[in-house]
Amino acid sequence: MTPEEVIKQITDLTSALIAHSYVDEQNFPSIRTHRDHLVEIGLSSGLDLSVSLKDIAYKDIYHALEHEGAFNFRLMDGGLVQMFYMFQNGVLISHRLAYFPSPMLEAYQNEPEIYEDDEIYADILAKNVVAFPIRFDFSSDEKLFTAIHHPKSHLTLGQYKNCRIPVSAPLTPVVFVQFILRNLYSTAARVAGDLGIRATAFEPDIHESEQRIPHLRLA
């Protein structure tokens, strides 16, 4: 995929999520060109606070991101989604795709009368739900890569520093969003159906040794 195709896919996803009433606030993506033929796809606001806020409490990270509008869109329960890509000479060199659930899900659970007649809220109203952030990272930088310990493409669950589950390839925007909807908002995804955006893929980039341990394989 080219930078132009990625930004179009993010824009189309955002529009589709708005049409399906998945989101209540959104920031459309931007594309910026830097020296050395670097192309950055980020937020129209230019904000990206998640890296600088790594060492503070999760609820403070969430509230800072929400307050500054540092997200592509906010889902119906307050979950925030970020998508950042970097290309050089038309080739993907990195991405960070993150989902930050609201740490205040109890606010929704304490007012069930607002949502109880709408089955799309069934997942987020479950009393035993535990909110934790999810992040997919990719970097083609060989200096950062260490087989198994620091895969080029990996999944991080929660804020665990050394949680890097190998992933077989970088994720396109539609694959990432479908992953979040299918696994965390399954009822809503079934009700709304297909978003109508064709799934695409980047080339696999996983070390042979990582394929012999538990990993996430993209179709």
In 76-172 the beta strands, taken as DSSP E runs, fall at 80-88, 91-100, 134-139, 153-157, 165-166
152 vs 142: CA distance, rounded Å: 8
Which residues are CB-neighbours of 11 under 8 A, at least 6 positions away? Answer: 28, 29
- Domain locations in the chain as residue ranges: 3-210
The model carries a pTM of: 0.88
Q: Of 12-26, 63-77, 120-134, give the lowest mean pLDDT range.
A: 120-134
Which residue(s) pair with 199 in the sheet? none
pLDDT at 67 over 60: yes
Range 40-45 average pLDDT: 86
pLDDT at 37 over 60: yes
Which residues are CB-neighbours of 190 under 8 A, at least 6 positions away? Answer: none
Q: Residues, the chain, total?
A: 219
Taking alpha carbons only, the member of 51, 62, 141 closest to residue 96 is 51
- Highest mean pLDDT: which of 86-95, 129-138, 182-191, 192-201? 86-95
Tell me if 71 sits within 8 A of 82, measured CB to CB: yes
Dihedral of the alpha carbons of 205, 183, 83, 200, in degrees to the nearest 10: 50
Identify the residue whose tokens are 């889902």.
75
pLDDT at 81 over 60: yes
65 vs 159, more confident: 65
Identify the residue whose tokens are 């896919």.
9
pLDDT of residue 196: 79
pLDDT of residue 128: 65
